[in-house]
Amino acid sequence: MALFEARNVTKQYGNQLALDNVSISVPEKCIYGLLGPNGAGKTTLIRIINQITGPDSGELFIDGRKLLPSDVQYIGYLPEERGLYKKMKVGEQALYLAQLKGLSKAEAMKRLRYWFRKLEITDWWGKKIEELSKGMAQKVQFVTTVLHEPKLLIFDEPFTGFDPVNAHTIKNEILFLRERGATIIFSTHNMESVEELCDNITLINKAKTILEGSVDEIRNKWAGNEYDLVFAGDVSLNGNHNFSVLDTKKDNGKSSIRLRCAAGTETNQIVSHALEHGNLISFNPALPSMNEIFIRVVESGK
C-alpha cells in the first residue's frame, strides 16, 4: 500500500511551470528516490509534500487519506540547504524545533538524550551552532529531522558535507529508520547511493515525470542485451552472427569482454561458445548504472 501519494500535481510560478501533472506513489517502508537535474522541479515537489507551498491543482494523500495541515507532525524534512539558528545553543534549538513539530518538552528531552547519545554528540548540547563544524551541525540537523518519529521522512541530499565515516553512520541510521517503519523520500544527485539505497525512483525533468519504477526493473529495461564476460588469462573473442564484441579490457591477468547479443540468441549459446575459448570466471548481464541511465534519459529529452 502506498503511504504517500501525489496525483496530477501541477504548480506554476508566474509564467514558469515548475511541475506539470506529476504523480508519485511511495510504498510503505520504501526508500523512494526523487531524481532529476537541477531546476527540474524536485524542490517544488518536496515543498508541496511538506505543505510549504500548495499545488495549483492535484491531490496529496497520506495513509490513503487526504493530506491535512496537521499532518506536518508525521513528516520529517531535511532540506538541501540546511540551516539552524547560528547563535542558538544546540540543545535549545533541537528542543525548539521538536516543539514546533508538536512534541511536548519532556518527550522531546527524552528523545533528544537518546539520539544525542546514539550519534555521540552529547557534549555539544550547550554549544552554539556557529561553534560547530559543518558536518557537526548536519548531525544535529539530522537528529532534529527524525526526532518526532515521522512516518514519512524526506531527505534532500543527506550525505553532502559528511566525511565518509559520518556518511556511513547516517546511511545506517536511515536504514535503521526504515526498519522501524519509516518511509523515506530521498532526493540526490549521487547515483551510487541511489543504486545502493533506493527501491523505487521517479525521475523528473523539465517539470515532467520521465522515468519511474523500481531501480532493478529500470536497470534491466535499459540493459539492452549486453553482457560482461570475465576470463582468466589472455583471451580474445571474435564476434559472429550471435553476438558482437563491444569492448575488451586486459589487466591483472584477466580479460573483461563486453558483448551484445543479436536478437533471438540464447545466453546459453554465448556461454558455451565462450567456454571453448578460455577459462570463464564470470558471466553477467551488463546493467547500466543509474548514472548512465540518468544521463541518457535527460539528454534524450533535449
Contact region for other proteins (CB under 8 A) — 43-51, 178-186, 193-201, 262-270?
Answer: 43-51
For residue 134, state whether it binds other proteins (rule: CB under 8 A). Answer: no
Q: Which of residues 1-30 bind other proteins (CB under 8 A)?
A: 13-14
Order across the sheet with 57-62: list the strands: 16-27, 2-13, 57-62, 65-66
Contact region for other proteins (CB under 8 A) — 82-90, 165-173, 183-191, 279-287?
Answer: 82-90
CA angle 78, 59, 52 (to 5 degrees): 35
Q: Least distance (Å) from other proteins to the CB of residue 255?
A: 51
Q: How do 16-27 and 2-13 pair as beta strands?
A: antiparallel
Question: What secondary structure, in 3-state letters, does 85-105 show?
Answer: CCCCEHHHHHHHHHHHCCCCH
For residue 183, state whether it binds other proteins (rule: CB under 8 A). Answer: no
Out of 138, 144, 183, 200, the only residue in the binding site for other proteins (CB under 8 A) is 144
Q: Least distance (Å) from other proteins to the CB of residue 84?
A: 5
> How many angstroms separate the CA atoms of 283 and 109, rounded?
54
29 C-beta neighbours (distance < 10 Å), count: 16
For residue 88, state whether it binds other proteins (rule: CB under 8 A). Answer: yes
Phi, psi of 151 (to 5 degrees): -75, -35
Q: Least distance (Å) from other proteins to the CB of residue 34?
A: 16
Number of residues that bind other proteins (CB under 8 A): 31
| H-run or E-run covering 66 | strand 65-66
For residue 79, state whether it binds other proteins (rule: CB under 8 A). Answer: yes
Nearer CB in complex with other proteins: 96/125: 96
For residue 82, state whether it binds other proteins (rule: CB under 8 A). Answer: yes
- Is residue 98 within 8 Å of residue 106, measured between CB atoms? no
For residue 104, state whether it binds other proteins (rule: CB under 8 A). Answer: no
For residue 249, state whether it binds other proteins (rule: CB under 8 A). Answer: no
